[in-house]
Amino acid sequence: MMGRIKKYTKNKVTNRNVYKFTHSNSEDMLPGDLNRSPDESFFRKSIANKVLVFIDDGFLSKLSKFFGDGEYIKLHRKRFAKFVSKKEGFNCEKTFLYTVATFQSANPNKLEIKRKEGYDIFKNLLIKDGIIFREGRCQRLKINNKFIYKQKAVDVLLVMDLMNVYINYPKIILISSDSDFVPIIKDLKNKGIKVILWTFFDKKRDTNFSRSNDLIKSVNKYVKLTKEDFINANSEAENER
């Protein structure tokens, strides 16, 4: 006879009561509830080969133009996330993308309207693909009679998501080159989350891709993106059709 059953604890994943035999001394026995739903160990195994991908789209767009010698290399974001995940030996579970809408003045001109229409098409396609779309704000500043455009709140949105998802996933892939993410990366690592960085840096002067040693050192692993990665990701996407 195995003995009575008593309430053991609360399962954090299923939010169900977990029960255990009072007379069992087996260290191999895993707690389970009366409805036989799996405990935490099952969920950890089920996501062992899955990864979340976080894309700083401002960085990715800038890099595609750099690799394209001034012309943007067309890139399907979801398939690119799957390509990067596959290279790391994982399946992409979810993709988060961070960007800003095109600037719109109080009385937008034809060019602003056209850019907004193109942006809305881009945004709707990504959402339709199942990408978790995060949108910051575009700020326009006038300095020395020239307009300067800056992203606002994008980094904050990314950090907020990183803080919220670490509980359920043991690893993430970050596509960025921003050293502002170093503190949250260190925090994730302290919580046992593996952070893999796909980035780019250039030793040449007068480029937008300077190397951040703090960022490189903060992650578990980093990979330097190449033009071939863009081309191969597109090729794989074509083969999937």
Contacts of 201 (CB under 8 A, 6+ apart): 177, 209, 210, 211, 212, 224
Strand partners, 97: 55, 133
Determine the Cα angle at 132 with ends 129 and 134, to 5°.
Answer: 125
Q: Are 55 and 96 in contact (CB under 8 A)?
A: yes
Indicate the SS3 state at residue 30. coil
pLDDT at 21: 41
pLDDT at 36: 38
Token pair 């026995």 is found at 29
| Residue ranges covered by each domain of the chain | 7-46, 50-240
Contacts of 43 (CB under 8 A, 6+ apart): 13, 168
* pTM beyond cutoff 0.85: no
pLDDT tens, 96-136? 999 887 777 778 788 878 888 888 888 999 999 999 989 87
* Burial environment of residue 98 by CB neighbours within 10 A (0 to 12, 13 to 18, 19 or more): buried
Q: 50-240: which CATH architecture? A: 3-Layer(aba) Sandwich (3.40)
Give the number of other Cβ atoms within 10 Å of residue 231's Cβ.
13
Q: Are 173 and 198 in contact (CB under 8 A)?
A: yes
The parts of the chain modelled with pLDDT lower than 70 are 1-47, 137-142, 147-153, 165-167, 204-207, 236-241
Element (H, E) at 100: strand 91-100
DSSP secondary structure code for residue 32 in this structure? B
- Return d(Cα 26, Cα 30) in angstroms, integer: 9
